[in-house]
Amino acid sequence: MMSSPSWTASLATSLGTPESGLRLVLGQLAGYPLLLVYRRLLASRDTNTQHLYFSLSGLLLAYWVIGDGVTHSLYSILATYIILLVSGGTLASVVVSFTLNMTYLMAGYWYMAGAEYDISWTMPQCVLCLRLIGLTWDVYDGARQKKDPNSVSKDQAKTALSTSPNILEMLSHSFFIGGYFVGPQFNLAKYRQLVCPQYQASLPSSPIKFGLTRLAISICYMTAHVLGSAYLPELWPTSEHFTSTPLLVKLVLLPIWCKLILAKYLSMWLMAEGVCAISGLSLTVSESGPPDWTGCANVKLRRLESATMFGHYIQAFNINTNSWVMNYVYKRLRFLNNRHISQASTLVFLAVWHGWHSGYYLTFFNEFIVMNFEKEFSSVWSKSVKAARWKEHPAYDTITAIIGWIYVHIFLPHCFLPFPLLFASRFIPAYTSLFYIQYLFFLGWMAWGKVAKAWLMGENVMKRKEE
């Protein structure tokens, strides 16, 4: 006799969404009542009681969302704890932790790989992987700081740990429901402040209103994603409808398609940010002005929606992950003394961290060529006498903002397209039907850029001759 489907399966079917996705959303939403209960009953209790609450609540929710896959999180936490217990504070511990956590994650990606991205234990595992690697770095920085306070940078000094965490502390830090499923990343030094019995009383005001506001915005983005995806689904570029659509219509619809996919990520990050805000973890200390509760923000909505260059998107999208990679990968490669190698290595790390699919690697390659184009173009523009004269016009800011916004929204979906499509067999035909426009533009800069530079810098040459 077949068992009846669970209530989440029935609800997911009625909504036309995968059950795994619905469970993820509901699991993250559960963080709100859990944190409200925490603030009312447990925030002033001793640190171990708070750790126990966050460990058990997060572990139970994780089990409900991803099932037995939560054991992989436990294995990784236990393994990292043993590494810190045996050799914490040494460079060897960092190397072993990095190798072990990345290898475990990559093995999980390989084992769980499917034709489409699916929500499984690898999703929170990729967040946990960075958290555990960063934790090992912080213990190492703390050991260096004890020997020589000048051996660590200002950023490293903020996150350095003078003592290695115990297993309960690691479980609490890892399973805290505000950051377990989709992030954000937050270091243990900051988390230790949260679980201090006096922390809530020290807050300048209540963060509940801010947290619920982020939840409301999150629901708006999720609604847009669900409704819009009914018309432009994630795999639309692989459909016959896409192939038969005229090029100009594709160019108009692609930015909308891209926005609908990104809305899914924005929604979950905003939901998680709201949980972190309600806990008080997201408070950013400022000497003056109102309290800033954006310390756990993974997206800057105004900057993102008004972006006039891809650099704005990178600054405003997946902020905490980018900050983690900046602090624990890019800046740690300074000994190479080559910005391009450090940048390329960082993007390769991000691609590997996302998984095995070729679409991830091509997406970050696209980011690399776009960022280098914008750096070169901005350098030429800032030195151009002709451009400087245009800046004196009262409509300059408005016109350039409009052109920049159009530029970003035209090319963003082309650069992002391999990410959701995953496989070359999907994104190459889509790119072919679009005539590889983004590569003609960005890689073509090596050719058409010479003409653009000559035109923009022409008056510079004349001015030097006159002098």
Indicate whether 42 belongs to any domain: yes
pLDDT value at 86 more than 80: yes
Mean pLDDT of all residues in the chain? 93
Query: Do both 164 and 230 map to the same domain?
Result: no
Indicate whether 327 belongs to any domain: yes
Query: Do both 226 and 348 map to the same domain?
Result: no
Indicate whether 305 belongs to any domain: no
Indicate whether 309 belongs to any domain: no
pTM, full prediction? 0.94
Torsion of CA 354, 359, 364, 370, to 10 degrees: -160
**What is the tens place of the pLDDT at every residue in 183-230?**
999 999 999 999 999 999 999 999 999 999 999 999 999 999 999 999
- What does the pLDDT read at residue 2? 47
Nearest partner of 31 among 128, 171, 176, 183, judged by Cα: 176
Query: Do both 254 and 145 map to the same domain?
Result: no
Average pLDDT over residues 80-103: 97
Asked if 318 is an active-site residue, the reply is: yes
Query: Do both 257 and 350 map to the same domain?
Result: no
Query: Do both 241 and 147 map to the same domain?
Result: no
Residue of 318, 320, 322, 327 marked catalytic: 318
Residue of 173, 225, 312, 354 marked catalytic: 354
**What is the tens place of the pLDDT at every residue in 150-163?**
999 999 999 999 99
Q: Kindly indicate the confidence band of residue 1, based on its pLDDT and cuts at 50, 70 and 90.
A: very low
- What does the pLDDT read at residue 138? 97
Percentage, residues of the chain above pLDDT 90: 85
Indicate whether 264 belongs to any domain: yes
**What is the tens place of the pLDDT at every residue in 17-63?**
888 999 999 999 999 999 999 999 999 999 999 999 999 999 999 99
Indicate whether 212 belongs to any domain: yes
Query: Do both 137 and 54 map to the same domain?
Result: yes
Q: CA triplet 191, 192, 195: central angle to 5 degrees?
A: 90
Last residue of a domain, one of 186, 201, 216: 201
- What does the pLDDT read at residue 284? 87
Query: Do both 195 and 55 map to the same domain?
Result: yes
299 has which bridge partners?
317
- What does the pLDDT read at residue 335? 84
Asked if 51 is an active-site residue, the reply is: no
Last residue of a domain, one of 299, 332, 349: 299
Query: Do both 116 and 227 map to the same domain?
Result: no
Number of domains comprising the chain = 3
Indicate whether 180 belongs to any domain: yes
- What does the pLDDT read at residue 289? 73
User: DSSP labels for 53-73?
Assistant: HHHHHHHHHHHHHHGGGHHHH
Query: Do both 40 and 174 map to the same domain?
Result: yes
Last residue of a domain, one of 284, 299, 314: 299
**Range of weakest confidence among 277-291, 354-368, 385-399, 414-428:** 277-291
**How far is residue 425's CA from residue 428's CA, in Å, rounded to a whole number?**
6
The answer to whether the peptide bond before residue 420 is cis (omega within 30 degrees of 0) is no
Question: Domain of 262?
Answer: 203-299
Indicate whether 286 belongs to any domain: yes
- Confirm if 381 and 226 have CB atoms less than 8 A apart: no
